Amino acid sequence: MKIYTRTGDTGETALFGGGRVAKTHARVQAYGTVDELNAFLGRGLLKVESEWIRSRLSLVQHDLFALGAILATPPAGEGRRRPEVPPLPEGRILEMETWMDEADGELPPLRSFVLPGGSPGAAELHLCRTVCRRAERLVVDLAHEEPDVRELVRYLNRLSDVFFVMARLENHRTGAGDTPWEKEAP
């Protein structure tokens, strides 16, 4: 099977389960950004030193693939059935909240905004956080037209918090520490 199909040469792409839309369609923008997030996370996992963080975020990579599949699959309609796609793991949001609570127990209290950066791994996780927020905004926008994706907003909202807390934990564990934002530039 060849990787190239030439079917997208006119600026359209096929959705899972049928139908074609412009590559600029809100659904394509949303799943494309989730794919981008997954790629950034893959790169970030190469730089994160903490095995505890890597093991949890490796689960997230699988979640993001499922989330992308959900977004790439339009609702059933006009002679088209919605194919089965893997769901997000039930209970993952609660699990992510537990991860954050465990990490917060190790971290110094947050007393100011922090600048993205610190250790290489933490910098990558801050980048993931910003791409995750963009994906969330795109899914919120898509949910106005297609309510079947509303459930995904909660996952992405929580995940961006996970990236923030994990970035702080990576900085703490590597000794880099957080860089507080100074209201007046030094």
The verdict on residue 45 lying in a domain is yes
Task: Give the C-alpha distances (Å, rounded to integers) separating 70 from 27, 73, 87.
Answer: 10, 5, 7
* 56: CATH: 1.20.1200.10
Q: What is the model's pTM?
A: 0.91
Q: Which residues fall within 8 angstroms of residue 95, CB to CB, at 6 or more apart?
A: 89
Percent of the chain with pLDDT over 70: 93
Question: Which of 174 and 18 is assigned the larger pLDDT?
Answer: 174
The verdict on residue 6 lying in a domain is no
Mean pLDDT throughout 14-26?
75
Task: Give the C-alpha distances (Å, rounded to integers) separating 85 from 63, 96, 116.
Answer: 12, 22, 35
User: Which residue segment(s) compose the domain that 62 sits in?
Assistant: 18-76+87-101+114-178
The verdict on residue 59 lying in a domain is yes
* Tens digit of each residue's pLDDT (9 = 90 or more) over 106-165: 999 988 899 999 999 999 999 999 999 999 999 999 999 888 888 899 999 999 999 999
